[in-house]
Amino acid sequence: MGKLAIEDIRKDFPILETEVFGKKLVYLDNAATTQKPVQVLKVLEEYYERYNSNVHRGVHSLSQQATAAYENARHTVAAFINAASSDEVIFTKGTTDGINLVASSFGKKFLHQGDSILISAMEHHSNIVPWQMICEEKGATLKVIPMDENGVLKMELLPELLDESVKLLSFTYVSNSLGTINPARELIRQAHAKNIPVLMDVAQAIQHMPLDVQELDVDFISFSGHKLYGPTGIGVLYGKEKWLNALPPYQGGGDMIKTVTFEKTIYNALPYKFEAGTPDISGAIGLGAAIAYVNSIGLDVIAEAEHELLTYALAKLAEVEGIQFIGKAEERASVISFLIEGVHPYDLGELLDKQGIAVRTGHHCTEPVMDFFGIPGTCRASFAFYNTTDEVDLLVAGIKRAAAILI
Ligand SMILES: Cc1ncc(COP(=O)(O)O)c(C=O)c1O
């Protein structure tokens, strides 16, 4: 395992040279979306310049080339998460799309009046609302695993919550607003002991640590390409083959069919059964390139570098007067939510922006988390492996400068 050559790495991301209000960009909003390396940008350009074509339909050379590149990306994803087969990799629009797919298809077939779906207290809206919608339709209930003041799930309540009514457990591996890494293995173990399938929202995990779906024995995972240094508009739903075969299609249209008559349609095999219509071809190819890029560095190297940054940032930020951290889990990813006493997070975000520092402010699509802590929102700094300790120092100095103006 090598150390990160940070100066070389940063050259791969041209946007890091951008200036905002005359200051060099300090990009600390990686939980919202990550920046893209030239290795990804080049592949996108190459696709549109040289072989742009539709997939799975043409006999002509360009279409075959596009199809091969698109399917190659699927193999890259399958290897990255260690899926047993690339048929278990469905290309989606993103995390939200993948969760909606499962909620809709699983709900349609397996959810009945009086059943329930179990989620956690720290879910992104995209792992709440799709379940609420299908529960309402089916007369089922949405149940929630509570958390404590540190932003840690109350695991002692899990055995009781996993009662006979629960048909599926869906939780986020890493909280986007608290940084908490949830105990995935234990959650899955307890659910499986009661034959309850598990979906993991890995939108904030896939870019930070190695993830092996077979080792975890998870039934579904959903993530977005754009949080993994890939393009927007592309995502992945992984599902165990037995589950994907058992679920009805999500959408109807081209590519997801074997034969169509006005009387009856026979659906296509996996993975195409869940990919209706022209997919995001360049997005998938770009995601494949992003994964190849991440692999070339190594997720274990990335994890170590980000952990060092997190430790440094937590220590430096703790020195800021009036700071309050929201989320204090021991196990956490490089996401830090905080408030400064007497300062509205929105005002702080604006003044940081004037200094070229990009952070996110607000509820981070986790309103129930904000309600739990009794706050309207937080300021969130989220780090990627291309960030530096110098950038952390700039953030801390920027917060102090902003606080001096605002308080
Ligand atoms: C934990 C988590 N889940 C789901 C999502 C939704 O991802 P997308 O908007 O790419 O579908 C996000 C995005 O911030 C997230 O952080």
CA of 126 relative to ligand 1 center, distance in Å: 7
Q: Is the peptide bond before 37 cis (omega within 30 degrees of 0)?
A: no
The helices-and-strands tally (H runs, E runs) of the chain is: 14, 17
CA angle 332, 334, 340 (to 5 degrees): 95
Whole-number pLDDT of residue 1: 45
With b for 16 or more beta-carbon neighbours within 10 A and e for fewer, the 43-54 pattern comes to: bbeebeeebebb
Contact status, residue 103 vs residue 133, Cβ threshold 8 Å: yes
Closest atom of ligand 1 to 126 CA is 4
203 lines ligand 1 (CB under 6 A): yes
151 lines ligand 1 (CB under 6 A): no
Whole-number pLDDT of residue 2: 61
**6-30+298-406 matches 42-296 in fold:** no
225 lines ligand 1 (CB under 6 A): no
Pocket test for ligand 1, best of 176, 208, 234 (most atoms within 8 A of CB): 176
CA of 216 relative to ligand 1 center, distance in Å: 21
Q: How many whole angstroms separate alpha carbon 289 and alpha carbon 44?
A: 9
116 lines ligand 1 (CB under 6 A): no
Whole-number pLDDT of residue 313: 98
CA of 124 relative to ligand 1 center, distance in Å: 7
How does DSSP classify residue 182? P
What is the DSSP annotation of 312-326? Answer: HHHHHHHTSTTEEEE
Closest atom of ligand 1 to 94 CA is 11
Contact status, residue 264 vs residue 8, Cβ threshold 8 Å: no
CA of 176 relative to ligand 1 center, distance in Å: 8
CA of 37 relative to ligand 1 center, distance in Å: 21
CA of 32 relative to ligand 1 center, distance in Å: 8
Spatial CB neighbours of 173, under 8 Å, sequence gap ≥ 6: 181, 182, 184, 200, 201, 202, 204, 205, 211
126 lines ligand 1 (CB under 6 A): yes
Whole-number pLDDT of residue 130: 98
Closest atom of ligand 1 to 97 CA is 11
Domain spanning 6-30+298-406: CATH superfamily: Aspartate Aminotransferase, domain 1 (3.90.1150.10)
The Cβ of residue 120 has, within 10 Å, a number of other Cβ atoms equal to: 24
Contacts of range 37-40, beta carbons closer than 8 Å, 24 or more positions apart: 37/12, 37/13, 37/229, 37/290, 37/293, 38/12, 38/13, 38/14, 39/12, 39/289, 39/290, 39/292, 39/293, 40/229, 40/230, 40/231, 40/286, 40/289, 40/290, 40/293
205 lines ligand 1 (CB under 6 A): no
Low-confidence ranges of the chain (pLDDT < 50): 1
Beta-strand pair 220-224/19-20: unpaired
Tokens for 82, please give them. Answer: 């260690």
- Residue 190's H or E segment, with its range, is helix 184-193
Q: How many whole angstroms separate alpha carbon 120 and alpha carbon 176?
A: 13
Q: How many whole angstroms separate alpha carbon 113 and alpha carbon 216?
A: 30
Nearest to 123 by CA among 201, 196, 184: 201
- Would the CA dihedral through 95, 98, 104, 109 be positive or negative? negative
74 lines ligand 1 (CB under 6 A): no
Domain ranges of the chain: 6-30+298-406, 42-296
Instruction: Compute the half-sphere exposure of residue 169: CA atoms within 13 Å on the CB side of its CA.
Output: 29
Instruction: Compute the half-sphere exposure of residue 211: CA atoms within 13 Å on the CB side of its CA.
Output: 27
CATH architecture, domain 42-296? 3-Layer(aba) Sandwich (3.40)
Spatial CB neighbours of 79, under 8 Å, sequence gap ≥ 6: none
172 lines ligand 1 (CB under 6 A): yes
CA of 96 relative to ligand 1 center, distance in Å: 6
Nearest to 221 by CA among 94, 32, 44, 390: 94
Contact status, residue 257 vs residue 267, Cβ threshold 8 Å: yes
Among protein residues, the one with the nearest Cα to ligand 1's atom 12 is: 203
Closest atom of ligand 1 to 224 CA is 10
Single-letter amino acid, residue 18: T
| Residue whose token pair is 């050259």 | 11
Q: How many whole angstroms separate alpha carbon 251 and alpha carbon 234?
A: 17
29 lines ligand 1 (CB under 6 A): no
- CA dihedral of residues 142, 146, 149, 153 (deg, nearest 10): -120
